[in-house]
Chain A
Amino acid sequence: MSASIISIFIVAIFIENFVLNQILGLCPFIGVSNKIDSAVGMGLAVTFVMVMAGVATWSIQAFLLVPLQLEYLQTISFILVIASLVQFVEMVIRKTAPALYQSLGVFLPLITTNCAVLGVALLNIKKNYGLVESAVNSFGGGLGFFFALIIMAGIRERLDVSEIPEAMRGAPIAFVTAGLLATAFMGFSGLV
């Protein structure tokens, strides 16, 4: 049991990395990876919301939708839960840690439309994970997103001062870089 939990965790971070392998959550990945500071903030916020959303949506699926045979409401109920969760997290952070709220402010509401969050919720159900496995998978997925975002931000800070052909500047070079990064991450696939 514990071995499979660890392997789920490792797989979620490195092998099935949400950004680089499953291609989820690209909007913040490209949009917020300009500076390392904001990348760290965004990565932490997304990880937190992903774990909360993973647990909350799993509970809704197991205790509400399946017993009442309302599985077809999955998409609608999950997006509602995630939207309210993000709102709730935003309120809690504003109340308890105003400094953190200041630095995250802009990114927090955007997490609702981050497809990694809804993606992890749907994948947990699809793979028939239990509650603990879902939480671990969500946490690993969030950390994977965090790492990918920070590595990317580090590279892009260097790219800013490099000489790049006019047409490749900005988004195009970021995508090509992400492609190379994804190739490197494929090397992890033999790990588990």
Chain B
Amino acid sequence: MNRLTELTKGIWKENPIFVISLGICPTLAVTSSMTNALGMGIAATFVLMGSNLFISLIRNLVPGKIRIPVYIMIIATFVTMIDKMIAAFSPALSASLGIFIPLIVVNCIILGRAEAYASKNGPVDSLLDAIGMGIGFTIALSCLAFFRELLGEGKLYGFPIPFFKADPALIMIMAPGGFVVFGLLIALKRFMEAKGATK
């Protein structure tokens, strides 16, 4: 398969959040601001790249029966690394993401890609797949965070936006806002696809 499509499929066609619907918990929990969304996206991309590359390198050495525990161990190692790195370089981000960084371990996207892709393909393709999926994940997070931070706080990346600043709807950055915005975004994507299909 073409190398470029390995990279780009994760961004739109097989976007992990909107199309495959994996890894929803962190998606809703950390998208109350653009900064958090970006931080989470980068952390998950790092873990995804590390685990995909590593798993694809050892894919022929691991007996089939114990592959899932082995994958989880590898993923947990990379998660611990990024957790400590964020805590060291950006304590503020570490505080606002909280337990959602260690929870990347149980993010279905990572294990899903390990099982569905990295265990069957070579290291280079797996790395490209990881980068694409990571970017797709980050874009999806930013998409949600854009609406939630704009409507909920009247800001983007912490900078006030003139028109929206006046009377923000606080509920948008709380849990209910996350659910509603996410539901509407999936509906919008489906609606667009249905429109495209009938044309």
Give the B-binding residues of A (Cβ under 8 A). 20-27, 30, 72-76, 79-80, 83, 112-115, 118-119, 122-123, 126, 165-168, 171-176, 178-180, 182-183, 186
Question: Which residues on the A side are within 8 Å of B99 (C-beta)?
Answer: 119, 122-123, 126
Nearest-Cβ distance from residue B138 to partner chain A, whole angstroms: 19
Q: Interface range on chain B: under 10, 10 to 19, 20 to 34, or 35 or more?
A: 35 or more
Give Cα A76 to B183, complex, Å.
33
Question: How distant is the Cα of A161 from the Cα of B15 in the complex, in angstroms?
Answer: 30
The closest CB in chain B to the CB of A24 belongs to B25
Per CB-CB distance, the 4 closest pairs between chain A and chain B, nearest first, are A175-B183, A179-B179, A179-B180, A172-B187
For the complex, is B147 an interface residue (Cβ under 8 Å from A)?
no
Tell me how far the C-beta of B191 lies from the nearest C-beta in chain A, rounded to whole angstroms: 4
**Residues in A whose Cβ lies below 8 Å from that of B107:** 115
Offer 12 A-B interface pairs, CB within 8 angstroms, sorted by A.
Answer: A20-B175, A22-B175, A24-B29, A74-B80, A113-B106, A118-B103, A167-B191, A167-B194, A175-B180, A183-B171, A183-B176, A186-B174
Q: How many A-B residue pairs have CB under 8 A?
A: 114
A171 to B187, CA, bound (A): 9
Of the candidate stretches B49-57, B71-79, B124-132, B156-164, the one touching chain A is B71-79
Bits for B58-90, please: 1 = Cβ < 8 Å to A, else 0: 000000000001001100110110011000000
- CB pair A118 B102 closer than 8 Å: yes
- Whether A115 and B178, one on each chain, are in contact in the complex, defined by CB atoms closer than 8 angstroms, is no
B194 engages A166 (CB within 8 Å):
yes
Nearest residue (CB) in B for A20 is: B175
Report the bound CA distance from A126 to B191 in whole Å. 42
User: Is A122 touching B102 in the complex (CB atoms < 8 A)?
Assistant: yes
A175-B182 in contact (CB<8A): yes
